[in-house]
A and B are shown apart, each in its own frame.
Chain A
Amino acid sequence: MKAITYDGPFHVRLRDKPYPRIEHPQDAILKVTAAGICGSDLHLLHGLVPDTRVGFTFGHEMVGVIEETGPECTGLRKGDRVLVPFQIFCGGCYYCQRGLTACCENTNPASDIAAGCYGYAHITGGYDGGQAEYVRVPFADVCAEEVPEDLSDLDALPLTDAMATGYQAAEMCGLRGGETVVVFGCGPVGLYAMRSAWIMGAERVIAVDHVPYRLAFARDWAGAEPLNFREVDVVATVKSMTEDRGAHCTIDAVGCEAAGSPMQRALGIYGKLYGGSAQALNWCFHATRKGGTVSVVGVYGPPWTLVDFGTAMNKQLTVRTGQVSVKRYIPHLVEHIRAGRFDSDSIFTHRLPLEEGPKAYRTFAQKKDGCIKVALFPHGTPATIH
Protein backbone atom coordinates (compact mmCIF):
# COMPACT_ATOMS: atom_id res chain seq x y z
CA MET A 1 0.00 0.00 0.00
CA LYS A 2 1.04 3.62 -0.52
CA ALA A 3 2.09 5.79 2.41
CA ILE A 4 3.75 9.17 3.03
CA THR A 5 6.89 8.42 4.98
CA TYR A 6 9.73 10.31 6.60
CA ASP A 7 12.95 10.40 4.58
CA GLY A 8 15.29 12.45 6.74
CA PRO A 9 14.94 16.12 7.75
CA PHE A 10 12.92 18.23 5.27
CA HIS A 11 11.95 15.25 3.12
CA VAL A 12 8.95 12.95 2.89
CA ARG A 13 8.50 10.28 0.30
CA LEU A 14 5.65 8.23 -1.10
CA ARG A 15 6.60 4.60 -0.72
CA ASP A 16 5.08 1.14 -0.71
CA LYS A 17 4.67 -0.37 2.74
CA PRO A 18 3.14 -3.65 3.87
CA TYR A 19 -0.61 -3.71 4.53
CA PRO A 20 -1.08 -3.27 8.33
CA ARG A 21 -1.91 -6.30 10.44
CA ILE A 22 -4.20 -6.90 13.40
CA GLU A 23 -1.58 -6.99 16.19
CA HIS A 24 -3.90 -6.95 19.21
CA PRO A 25 -7.42 -8.41 19.61
CA GLN A 26 -8.94 -4.92 20.00
CA ASP A 27 -7.33 -3.60 16.81
CA ALA A 28 -9.07 -2.68 13.60
CA ILE A 29 -7.72 -1.81 10.17
CA LEU A 30 -9.00 1.48 8.80
CA LYS A 31 -9.27 2.25 5.10
CA VAL A 32 -8.33 5.93 5.16
CA THR A 33 -10.61 8.11 3.05
CA ALA A 34 -9.21 11.49 4.15
CA ALA A 35 -6.09 12.46 6.08
CA GLY A 36 -4.94 15.89 7.16
CA ILE A 37 -1.48 17.39 7.30
CA CYS A 38 -1.14 19.10 10.65
CA GLY A 39 1.22 21.93 11.59
CA SER A 40 2.80 19.60 14.12
CA ASP A 41 3.70 17.20 11.29
CA LEU A 42 6.10 19.91 10.19
CA HIS A 43 8.04 19.58 13.46
CA LEU A 44 8.62 15.95 12.51
CA LEU A 45 9.43 16.87 8.94
CA HIS A 46 12.07 19.32 10.11
CA GLY A 47 13.73 16.76 12.37
CA LEU A 48 12.80 18.44 15.66
CA VAL A 49 11.13 15.48 17.37
CA PRO A 50 13.51 12.81 18.69
CA ASP A 51 13.29 9.25 17.37
CA THR A 52 11.56 10.05 14.11
CA ARG A 53 12.67 7.09 12.02
CA VAL A 54 13.24 6.97 8.30
CA GLY A 55 10.38 5.05 6.70
CA PHE A 56 7.88 6.00 9.41
CA THR A 57 4.39 6.90 8.14
CA PHE A 58 3.18 10.37 9.09
CA GLY A 59 -0.34 11.53 9.81
CA HIS A 60 -2.46 11.73 12.93
CA GLU A 61 -5.64 13.23 11.48
CA MET A 62 -7.75 10.69 9.66
CA VAL A 63 -11.22 9.65 8.72
CA GLY A 64 -12.07 6.37 7.06
CA VAL A 65 -14.03 3.17 6.83
CA ILE A 66 -13.41 0.08 8.96
CA GLU A 67 -11.92 -2.63 6.76
CA GLU A 68 -11.18 -5.39 9.28
CA THR A 69 -11.66 -5.91 13.02
CA GLY A 70 -9.88 -7.98 15.66
CA PRO A 71 -11.72 -10.66 17.70
CA GLU A 72 -12.21 -8.36 20.75
CA CYS A 73 -13.16 -5.27 18.75
CA THR A 74 -16.88 -5.82 19.05
CA GLY A 75 -18.18 -2.25 18.94
CA LEU A 76 -17.37 -1.70 15.27
CA ARG A 77 -18.15 -3.54 12.05
CA LYS A 78 -16.65 -3.59 8.60
CA GLY A 79 -17.94 -0.62 6.64
CA ASP A 80 -18.48 1.71 9.61
CA ARG A 81 -17.41 5.27 8.79
CA VAL A 82 -15.34 6.61 11.66
CA LEU A 83 -13.05 9.43 12.72
CA VAL A 84 -10.03 8.55 14.81
CA PRO A 85 -8.69 10.84 17.57
CA PHE A 86 -4.97 11.35 17.25
CA GLN A 87 -4.18 9.67 20.58
CA ILE A 88 -4.43 5.95 21.20
CA PHE A 89 -6.02 5.16 24.55
CA CYS A 90 -7.31 2.13 26.39
CA GLY A 91 -10.42 3.73 27.90
CA GLY A 92 -10.06 2.18 31.34
CA CYS A 93 -6.82 3.29 33.00
CA TYR A 94 -6.59 5.92 35.77
CA TYR A 95 -6.31 8.80 33.29
CA CYS A 96 -8.80 7.55 30.71
CA GLN A 97 -11.46 7.10 33.38
CA ARG A 98 -10.99 10.76 34.28
CA GLY A 99 -11.40 11.87 30.69
CA LEU A 100 -7.69 12.53 30.16
CA THR A 101 -7.34 10.14 27.24
CA ALA A 102 -4.29 12.07 26.04
CA CYS A 103 -2.50 10.76 29.13
CA CYS A 104 -3.35 7.05 28.77
CA GLU A 105 -0.74 4.88 30.46
CA ASN A 106 -1.28 1.74 28.40
CA THR A 107 -0.16 2.68 24.91
CA ASN A 108 3.34 4.15 25.00
CA PRO A 109 6.40 2.19 26.13
CA ALA A 110 8.82 4.89 24.96
CA SER A 111 8.02 7.64 27.41
CA ASP A 112 5.92 8.71 30.36
CA ILE A 113 5.28 12.14 28.87
CA ALA A 114 2.52 11.26 26.42
CA ALA A 115 0.14 8.55 25.32
CA GLY A 116 0.57 6.68 22.07
CA CYS A 117 -0.16 8.74 18.95
CA TYR A 118 -0.46 7.92 15.27
CA GLY A 119 2.40 8.96 13.05
CA TYR A 120 4.21 11.03 15.66
CA ALA A 121 7.72 9.64 15.99
CA HIS A 122 8.61 6.73 18.18
CA ILE A 123 8.53 8.70 21.40
CA THR A 124 4.75 8.34 21.18
CA GLY A 125 4.85 4.60 20.76
CA GLY A 126 5.90 3.90 17.17
CA TYR A 127 2.45 3.66 15.59
CA ASP A 128 2.29 4.28 11.85
CA GLY A 129 0.15 7.24 10.84
CA GLY A 130 -2.84 7.77 8.65
CA GLN A 131 -1.31 9.40 5.57
CA ALA A 132 -1.58 6.02 3.95
CA GLU A 133 -4.14 3.84 2.28
CA TYR A 134 -4.68 1.76 5.43
CA VAL A 135 -3.72 2.10 9.08
CA ARG A 136 -3.86 -0.06 12.17
CA VAL A 137 -6.18 1.40 14.85
CA PRO A 138 -5.52 -0.03 18.34
CA PHE A 139 -8.45 -0.06 20.81
CA ALA A 140 -10.56 0.79 17.79
CA ASP A 141 -14.01 0.46 19.31
CA VAL A 142 -12.95 2.61 22.28
CA CYS A 143 -11.07 5.36 20.42
CA ALA A 144 -12.85 5.70 17.09
CA GLU A 145 -16.11 7.59 16.84
CA GLU A 146 -18.71 7.01 14.16
CA VAL A 147 -19.11 9.99 11.85
CA PRO A 148 -22.70 11.23 11.81
CA GLU A 149 -24.29 10.88 8.38
CA ASP A 150 -24.85 14.60 7.99
CA LEU A 151 -21.12 15.36 8.35
CA SER A 152 -18.77 15.10 5.38
CA ASP A 153 -15.25 13.72 5.69
CA LEU A 154 -13.89 17.26 5.69
CA ASP A 155 -16.31 18.29 8.44
CA ALA A 156 -15.13 15.38 10.55
CA LEU A 157 -11.40 15.50 9.79
CA PRO A 158 -10.54 18.58 11.92
CA LEU A 159 -12.37 17.01 14.86
CA THR A 160 -9.57 14.47 15.15
CA ASP A 161 -7.09 17.16 16.17
CA ALA A 162 -7.03 20.77 14.94
CA MET A 163 -10.54 21.84 15.87
CA ALA A 164 -10.54 20.06 19.22
CA THR A 165 -7.09 21.47 20.02
CA GLY A 166 -8.13 24.99 19.10
CA TYR A 167 -11.28 24.69 21.16
CA GLN A 168 -9.35 23.41 24.17
CA ALA A 169 -6.85 26.25 23.77
CA ALA A 170 -9.64 28.79 24.21
CA GLU A 171 -11.28 26.72 26.93
CA MET A 172 -8.08 26.68 28.99
CA CYS A 173 -8.25 30.50 29.08
CA GLY A 174 -11.29 30.16 31.36
CA LEU A 175 -13.23 32.82 29.45
CA ARG A 176 -16.37 34.10 31.14
CA GLY A 177 -17.15 36.92 28.74
CA GLY A 178 -15.59 40.29 28.00
CA GLU A 179 -11.92 39.27 27.77
CA THR A 180 -9.25 40.20 25.24
CA VAL A 181 -7.56 37.13 23.79
CA VAL A 182 -4.37 37.20 21.74
CA VAL A 183 -3.75 34.14 19.58
CA PHE A 184 -0.19 33.60 18.36
CA GLY A 185 -0.22 31.66 15.09
CA CYS A 186 -2.81 31.80 12.30
CA GLY A 187 -2.55 28.17 11.26
CA PRO A 188 -5.59 25.88 11.53
CA VAL A 189 -5.32 25.40 15.31
CA GLY A 190 -4.95 29.15 15.88
CA LEU A 191 -7.91 29.86 13.62
CA TYR A 192 -10.14 27.39 15.45
CA ALA A 193 -8.95 28.86 18.75
CA MET A 194 -10.02 32.32 17.58
CA ARG A 195 -13.53 31.18 16.68
CA SER A 196 -13.73 29.22 19.93
CA ALA A 197 -12.75 32.32 21.89
CA TRP A 198 -15.72 34.16 20.38
CA ILE A 199 -17.97 31.18 21.16
CA MET A 200 -16.85 31.43 24.80
CA GLY A 201 -17.64 35.12 24.97
CA ALA A 202 -14.38 36.95 24.25
CA GLU A 203 -14.80 40.66 23.65
CA ARG A 204 -11.79 41.06 21.44
CA VAL A 205 -9.59 38.58 19.55
CA ILE A 206 -6.18 39.61 18.22
CA ALA A 207 -4.29 37.39 15.76
CA VAL A 208 -0.48 37.47 15.54
CA ASP A 209 1.53 36.02 12.67
CA HIS A 210 3.98 37.20 10.01
CA VAL A 211 2.45 35.66 6.90
CA PRO A 212 0.19 38.27 5.27
CA TYR A 213 -2.28 35.86 3.65
CA ARG A 214 -2.77 34.01 6.93
CA LEU A 215 -3.41 37.26 8.81
CA ALA A 216 -5.95 38.22 6.15
CA PHE A 217 -7.59 34.79 6.54
CA ALA A 218 -7.74 35.26 10.34
CA ARG A 219 -9.41 38.63 9.85
CA ASP A 220 -11.98 37.33 7.37
CA TRP A 221 -12.62 33.82 8.68
CA ALA A 222 -12.29 34.40 12.42
CA GLY A 223 -13.06 38.11 12.83
CA ALA A 224 -9.73 38.76 14.53
CA GLU A 225 -7.66 41.94 14.54
CA PRO A 226 -4.44 41.04 12.69
CA LEU A 227 -0.98 42.01 13.95
CA ASN A 228 2.11 41.32 11.86
CA PHE A 229 5.12 40.98 14.13
CA ARG A 230 7.45 41.82 11.25
CA GLU A 231 5.86 45.27 11.12
CA VAL A 232 5.24 46.10 14.78
CA ASP A 233 6.67 45.32 18.20
CA VAL A 234 3.99 42.80 19.06
CA VAL A 235 4.21 43.04 22.86
CA ALA A 236 4.23 46.86 22.91
CA THR A 237 1.35 46.96 20.44
CA VAL A 238 -0.78 44.53 22.41
CA LYS A 239 -0.16 46.52 25.57
CA SER A 240 -1.06 49.77 23.82
CA MET A 241 -4.32 48.13 22.67
CA THR A 242 -5.20 47.00 26.20
CA GLU A 243 -4.74 50.03 28.49
CA ASP A 244 -1.03 49.25 28.86
CA ARG A 245 -1.77 46.05 30.77
CA GLY A 246 -1.68 43.31 28.17
CA ALA A 247 -4.33 40.80 27.17
CA HIS A 248 -6.35 38.82 29.68
CA CYS A 249 -5.30 35.62 27.95
CA THR A 250 -2.87 34.58 25.28
CA ILE A 251 -2.79 31.37 23.28
CA ASP A 252 0.39 29.86 21.88
CA ALA A 253 -0.76 28.00 18.77
CA VAL A 254 2.71 28.01 17.21
CA GLY A 255 4.98 25.70 19.18
CA CYS A 256 8.62 24.96 18.66
CA GLU A 257 9.16 26.51 15.23
CA ALA A 258 8.29 30.10 16.03
CA ALA A 259 9.82 32.87 13.95
CA GLY A 260 10.72 36.28 15.38
CA SER A 261 14.04 35.55 17.10
CA PRO A 262 17.13 34.87 14.99
CA MET A 263 18.95 33.52 18.02
CA GLN A 264 16.21 31.04 18.94
CA ARG A 265 15.96 29.87 15.34
CA ALA A 266 19.72 29.60 14.85
CA LEU A 267 20.34 27.60 18.00
CA GLY A 268 17.09 25.72 18.44
CA ILE A 269 15.85 25.01 14.91
CA TYR A 270 18.84 25.05 12.58
CA GLY A 271 21.51 24.13 15.15
CA LYS A 272 19.18 21.66 16.92
CA LEU A 273 21.01 22.36 20.17
CA TYR A 274 17.67 22.24 21.98
CA GLY A 275 14.02 21.61 21.23
CA GLY A 276 13.27 24.43 18.79
CA SER A 277 12.32 28.08 19.28
CA ALA A 278 10.20 29.24 22.22
CA GLN A 279 9.72 32.76 20.89
CA ALA A 280 5.92 32.57 20.66
CA LEU A 281 5.68 31.35 24.24
CA ASN A 282 7.97 34.12 25.46
CA TRP A 283 5.81 36.70 23.67
CA CYS A 284 2.76 35.16 25.34
CA PHE A 285 4.32 35.71 28.76
CA HIS A 286 5.07 39.35 27.96
CA ALA A 287 1.79 40.15 26.18
CA THR A 288 -0.43 38.78 28.96
CA ARG A 289 -1.45 41.09 31.77
CA LYS A 290 -0.36 40.29 35.33
CA GLY A 291 -2.48 37.53 36.80
CA GLY A 292 -3.64 36.50 33.33
CA THR A 293 -3.65 33.12 31.64
CA VAL A 294 -1.36 31.66 29.01
CA SER A 295 -2.75 28.66 27.14
CA VAL A 296 -0.20 26.55 25.32
CA VAL A 297 -1.25 24.06 22.64
CA GLY A 298 1.67 24.60 20.28
CA VAL A 299 3.82 21.49 20.29
CA TYR A 300 7.11 21.53 22.15
CA GLY A 301 8.96 18.27 21.83
CA PRO A 302 11.62 17.22 24.26
CA PRO A 303 14.25 17.86 25.41
CA TRP A 304 13.99 21.58 26.36
CA THR A 305 13.66 25.15 25.11
CA LEU A 306 14.80 28.62 26.15
CA VAL A 307 11.65 29.70 27.97
CA ASP A 308 11.48 32.99 29.84
CA PHE A 309 9.79 31.40 32.82
CA GLY A 310 10.93 34.09 35.27
CA THR A 311 8.57 36.52 33.55
CA ALA A 312 5.68 34.09 33.93
CA MET A 313 6.44 33.62 37.61
CA ASN A 314 6.85 37.30 38.42
CA LYS A 315 3.66 38.26 36.57
CA GLN A 316 1.66 35.65 38.49
CA LEU A 317 0.54 34.04 35.25
CA THR A 318 -1.46 30.87 35.07
CA VAL A 319 0.04 28.61 32.42
CA ARG A 320 -2.23 25.86 31.12
CA THR A 321 -1.06 23.31 28.61
CA GLY A 322 -1.77 19.96 27.16
CA GLN A 323 -2.71 17.79 24.26
CA VAL A 324 -6.44 17.74 23.90
CA SER A 325 -8.26 14.60 25.00
CA VAL A 326 -10.15 14.55 21.72
CA LYS A 327 -12.76 11.91 22.54
CA ARG A 328 -14.22 14.05 25.30
CA TYR A 329 -14.79 16.96 22.92
CA ILE A 330 -16.31 15.25 19.90
CA PRO A 331 -20.05 15.30 20.75
CA HIS A 332 -19.91 18.96 21.81
CA LEU A 333 -18.01 20.05 18.70
CA VAL A 334 -20.31 18.08 16.40
CA GLU A 335 -23.14 20.27 17.65
CA HIS A 336 -21.11 23.39 16.85
CA ILE A 337 -20.40 22.07 13.34
CA ARG A 338 -24.08 21.35 12.78
CA ALA A 339 -24.92 24.87 13.92
CA GLY A 340 -22.45 26.24 11.37
CA ARG A 341 -20.10 27.78 13.94
CA PHE A 342 -16.99 26.14 12.45
CA ASP A 343 -16.82 26.39 8.71
CA SER A 344 -14.11 23.84 7.95
CA ASP A 345 -14.80 23.82 4.24
CA SER A 346 -12.80 26.99 3.66
CA ILE A 347 -9.97 25.90 6.00
CA PHE A 348 -9.05 23.07 3.59
CA THR A 349 -7.49 25.21 0.90
CA HIS A 350 -5.67 22.22 -0.65
CA ARG A 351 -7.32 18.85 -1.38
CA LEU A 352 -5.02 16.41 -3.07
CA PRO A 353 -4.55 12.72 -3.76
CA LEU A 354 -2.08 10.90 -1.51
CA GLU A 355 0.46 10.72 -4.35
CA GLU A 356 0.87 14.49 -4.16
CA GLY A 357 1.69 14.36 -0.46
CA PRO A 358 5.38 15.32 -0.78
CA LYS A 359 4.45 18.36 -2.86
CA ALA A 360 1.70 19.22 -0.38
CA TYR A 361 4.21 19.12 2.47
CA ARG A 362 6.45 21.58 0.64
CA THR A 363 3.58 23.94 -0.08
CA PHE A 364 2.33 23.79 3.49
CA ALA A 365 5.77 24.12 5.09
CA GLN A 366 6.82 27.03 2.91
CA LYS A 367 3.42 28.73 3.32
CA LYS A 368 2.95 29.10 -0.42
CA ASP A 369 -0.10 29.30 -2.61
CA GLY A 370 -2.37 30.59 0.16
CA CYS A 371 -2.13 27.24 1.94
CA ILE A 372 -3.99 27.02 5.26
CA LYS A 373 -4.60 23.28 5.55
CA VAL A 374 -4.15 20.23 3.35
CA ALA A 375 -6.42 17.20 3.06
CA LEU A 376 -5.03 14.10 1.35
CA PHE A 377 -7.29 11.47 -0.19
CA PRO A 378 -5.57 8.06 -0.35
CA HIS A 379 -8.36 6.44 -2.32
CA GLY A 380 -9.06 9.25 -4.75
CA THR A 381 -10.36 12.77 -4.33
CA PRO A 382 -14.12 12.75 -3.91
CA ALA A 383 -15.98 14.14 -6.91
CA THR A 384 -17.94 16.56 -4.75
CA ILE A 385 -16.94 17.86 -1.38
CA HIS A 386 -19.67 19.63 0.47
Chain B
Amino acid sequence: MFSVDEIKGVDDIYHRPGHQGYRPVGPWPNTRYPPSPQPGTPSVPKHGRLGKPMPPVFGTSCPLRGVSGAIRKWAYTFPDHQARHWLLLIFADRVEATGPRLRRLATYGAPLFLAGFGALWLGKRGAFGRAPSAGRAFVQRLPAARAIG
Protein backbone atom coordinates (compact mmCIF):
# COMPACT_ATOMS: atom_id res chain seq x y z
CA MET B 1 0.00 0.00 0.00
CA PHE B 2 1.29 3.44 -0.94
CA SER B 3 2.44 5.63 1.94
CA VAL B 4 2.86 9.38 1.46
CA ASP B 5 5.29 9.59 4.38
CA GLU B 6 7.82 7.38 2.59
CA ILE B 7 8.27 9.79 -0.32
CA LYS B 8 7.33 13.17 1.11
CA GLY B 9 9.87 15.92 0.53
CA VAL B 10 12.57 13.68 -0.97
CA ASP B 11 13.41 16.20 -3.72
CA ASP B 12 14.47 19.63 -2.53
CA ILE B 13 14.07 22.54 -4.90
CA TYR B 14 17.78 22.86 -5.75
CA HIS B 15 18.21 19.27 -6.90
CA ARG B 16 15.45 18.95 -9.43
CA PRO B 17 16.23 18.53 -13.13
CA GLY B 18 14.43 21.74 -14.09
CA HIS B 19 16.67 23.87 -11.86
CA GLN B 20 18.92 26.00 -14.02
CA GLY B 21 22.06 24.76 -12.32
CA TYR B 22 21.19 21.10 -12.82
CA ARG B 23 23.02 20.81 -16.13
CA PRO B 24 25.69 23.12 -17.58
CA VAL B 25 25.03 24.72 -20.96
CA GLY B 26 26.51 22.60 -23.75
CA PRO B 27 25.80 19.98 -26.36
CA TRP B 28 24.44 16.56 -25.44
CA PRO B 29 26.61 13.43 -25.81
CA ASN B 30 27.04 12.14 -29.40
CA THR B 31 25.93 15.48 -30.88
CA ARG B 32 27.27 16.34 -34.35
CA TYR B 33 26.68 20.00 -34.93
CA PRO B 34 25.63 21.34 -37.31
CA PRO B 35 23.74 18.25 -38.46
CA SER B 36 24.17 17.18 -42.06
CA PRO B 37 21.11 17.97 -44.19
CA GLN B 38 18.64 15.17 -44.86
CA PRO B 39 18.16 14.34 -48.54
CA GLY B 40 14.68 13.78 -49.94
CA THR B 41 11.41 15.63 -49.76
CA PRO B 42 9.70 16.53 -46.49
CA SER B 43 6.04 15.64 -46.11
CA VAL B 44 5.55 19.01 -44.42
CA PRO B 45 6.42 22.19 -46.30
CA LYS B 46 8.30 24.84 -44.37
CA HIS B 47 5.79 27.33 -42.99
CA GLY B 48 5.82 30.75 -44.52
CA ARG B 49 7.70 32.92 -42.03
CA LEU B 50 10.11 35.19 -43.86
CA GLY B 51 13.69 34.07 -43.39
CA LYS B 52 12.83 30.74 -41.78
CA PRO B 53 15.51 28.22 -42.74
CA MET B 54 14.61 24.68 -43.67
CA PRO B 55 15.66 22.47 -40.74
CA PRO B 56 18.19 19.75 -41.59
CA VAL B 57 15.92 16.90 -40.44
CA PHE B 58 12.24 16.36 -41.19
CA GLY B 59 9.49 13.76 -41.33
CA THR B 60 8.43 11.96 -44.48
CA SER B 61 5.17 10.34 -43.41
CA CYS B 62 2.01 10.83 -45.51
CA PRO B 63 3.13 13.28 -48.24
CA LEU B 64 0.68 15.90 -49.50
CA ARG B 65 -1.83 14.56 -52.00
CA GLY B 66 -5.22 15.30 -53.45
CA VAL B 67 -7.48 18.23 -52.64
CA SER B 68 -6.56 18.24 -48.97
CA GLY B 69 -2.90 18.27 -49.96
CA ALA B 70 -3.44 21.32 -52.12
CA ILE B 71 -5.18 23.14 -49.27
CA ARG B 72 -2.40 22.19 -46.88
CA LYS B 73 0.22 23.38 -49.33
CA TRP B 74 -1.59 26.71 -49.50
CA ALA B 75 -1.85 26.85 -45.68
CA TYR B 76 1.90 26.41 -45.36
CA THR B 77 2.52 29.48 -47.47
CA PHE B 78 1.38 31.50 -44.43
CA PRO B 79 3.41 31.78 -41.24
CA ASP B 80 2.21 30.00 -38.11
CA HIS B 81 1.42 33.24 -36.26
CA GLN B 82 -1.42 33.95 -38.68
CA ALA B 83 -4.88 32.50 -38.07
CA ARG B 84 -5.44 31.58 -41.72
CA HIS B 85 -2.53 29.14 -41.55
CA TRP B 86 -4.33 27.10 -38.88
CA LEU B 87 -7.85 27.54 -40.23
CA LEU B 88 -6.81 26.25 -43.64
CA LEU B 89 -5.09 23.25 -42.03
CA ILE B 90 -8.23 22.47 -40.05
CA PHE B 91 -10.32 22.80 -43.21
CA ALA B 92 -7.98 20.44 -45.05
CA ASP B 93 -8.38 17.90 -42.24
CA ARG B 94 -12.15 17.97 -42.65
CA VAL B 95 -11.82 17.56 -46.41
CA GLU B 96 -9.47 14.60 -46.06
CA ALA B 97 -11.69 12.96 -43.45
CA THR B 98 -14.53 12.65 -45.97
CA GLY B 99 -12.62 9.82 -47.70
CA PRO B 100 -12.61 7.43 -44.72
CA ARG B 101 -16.15 8.53 -43.88
CA LEU B 102 -17.39 7.54 -47.31
CA ARG B 103 -15.45 4.29 -47.12
CA ARG B 104 -17.04 3.41 -43.78
CA LEU B 105 -20.41 4.38 -45.20
CA ALA B 106 -19.80 2.07 -48.12
CA THR B 107 -18.69 -0.71 -45.79
CA TYR B 108 -21.49 -0.52 -43.24
CA GLY B 109 -24.06 1.99 -44.44
CA ALA B 110 -24.56 0.78 -48.02
CA PRO B 111 -25.25 -2.89 -47.12
CA LEU B 112 -27.65 -1.76 -44.40
CA PHE B 113 -29.42 0.55 -46.84
CA LEU B 114 -29.64 -2.18 -49.48
CA ALA B 115 -30.88 -4.71 -46.92
CA GLY B 116 -33.56 -2.29 -45.71
CA PHE B 117 -34.60 -1.39 -49.23
CA GLY B 118 -34.68 -5.06 -50.21
CA ALA B 119 -36.79 -5.97 -47.18
CA LEU B 120 -39.28 -3.26 -48.06
CA TRP B 121 -39.45 -4.43 -51.65
CA LEU B 122 -39.95 -8.07 -50.63
CA GLY B 123 -42.52 -7.08 -48.00
CA LYS B 124 -44.62 -5.34 -50.60
CA ARG B 125 -44.67 -8.57 -52.56
CA GLY B 126 -45.81 -10.68 -49.65
CA ALA B 127 -42.56 -12.45 -49.02
CA PHE B 128 -43.14 -12.29 -45.26
CA GLY B 129 -46.55 -14.04 -45.25
CA ARG B 130 -49.00 -11.16 -45.47
CA ALA B 131 -49.75 -10.21 -49.03
CA PRO B 132 -51.26 -6.76 -49.36
CA SER B 133 -53.96 -8.22 -51.67
CA ALA B 134 -55.28 -10.41 -48.78
CA GLY B 135 -56.17 -7.27 -46.89
CA ARG B 136 -58.09 -5.92 -49.84
CA ALA B 137 -59.93 -9.25 -50.24
CA PHE B 138 -61.01 -9.10 -46.60
CA VAL B 139 -62.37 -5.63 -47.09
CA GLN B 140 -64.30 -6.80 -50.11
CA ARG B 141 -66.02 -9.56 -48.06
CA LEU B 142 -67.52 -7.04 -45.66
CA PRO B 143 -71.21 -6.25 -46.22
CA ALA B 144 -71.72 -3.13 -48.17
CA ALA B 145 -72.48 -0.07 -46.11
CA ARG B 146 -76.12 0.91 -46.17
CA ALA B 147 -77.21 4.37 -46.61
CA ILE B 148 -78.87 5.76 -43.45
CA GLY B 149 -81.92 7.84 -43.57
Contact = CB atoms under 8 A, between A and B. Distances in A.
Task: Bin chain A's interface residue count.
Answer: 35 or more
Most buried by A among B22, B54, B86, B93: B93
> Which 7 residue pairs of A and B lie closest in terms of their CB atoms, listed nearest first?
A92-B33, A126-B59, A91-B31, A91-B28, A8-B100, A201-B9, A127-B59
A107 interface: yes
Nearest to A96: B28
A57 B97 contact: no
Interface string A314-352: 000000000000011100100010010101000000000
A109 B54 CA distance: 6
A223 B61 CA distance: 42
Interface stretch (B41-49, B109-117, B130-138): B41-49
B35 A90 contact: yes
Nearest to A328: B17
30 contacts: A8-B100, A8-B101, A50-B93, A51-B44, A53-B62, A53-B68, A90-B56, A91-B31, A92-B31, A93-B33, A109-B54, A110-B44, A110-B47, A112-B47, A112-B52, A112-B80, A126-B60, A128-B61, A138-B57, A139-B57, A142-B31, A167-B17, A171-B18, A198-B8, A199-B10, A199-B11, A222-B2, A303-B83, A332-B17, A341-B10
Interface stretch (A23-31, A246-254, A361-369): A23-31
A353 interface: no
A128 B16 contact: no
Contacts of B96: 8, 53-54
B2 A127 contact: no
A299 to B, nearest CB: 15
Interface string B45-79: 11101001011111111100000100010011000
A302 B86 contact: yes
A16 interface: no
Contact of B30 (A74, A125, A198): A74
Contacts of A54: 62, 96-97, 99-100
A109 B42 contact: yes
Interface stretch (A173-181, A229-237, A284-292): A173-181
Contacts of A125: 44, 58-59
Nearest to A195: B7
Interface of A: 7-9, 11, 23-26, 47, 50-57, 72, 74-75, 88-93, 96-99, 101, 105-113, 116, 122-123, 125-128, 138-139, 141-142, 167-168, 171-172, 174-177, 195, 198-202, 220-223, 272, 302-303, 327-329, 332, 336, 339, 341, 343
Interface in B21-45: 22-23, 25-36, 38-40, 42-45
A72 B32 CA distance: 9
Given A142-B29, A172-B18, A107 B97 contact: no
Given A47-B93, A92-B27, A23 B17 contact: no
B120 interface: no
Nearest to A196: B11
Nearest to B8: A198
A220 B2 contact: yes
Contacts of A93: 33
B51 to A, nearest CB: 11
Contacts of B32: 26, 72, 92
Contacts of B62: 53-56, 122, 126
B61 A50 contact: no
Most buried by B among A90, A107, A110, A329: A110
A204 to B, nearest CB: 10
B13 A11 contact: no
Given A11-B104, A24-B57, A75 B30 contact: yes
Nearest to A94: B25
Given A11-B104, A97-B26, A111-B47, A175 B13 contact: yes
A106 B38 CA distance: 11
Most buried by A among B31, B40, B83: B31
Interface in B98-126: 99-101, 104
A327 B28 contact: yes
Contacts of A96: 27-28, 31
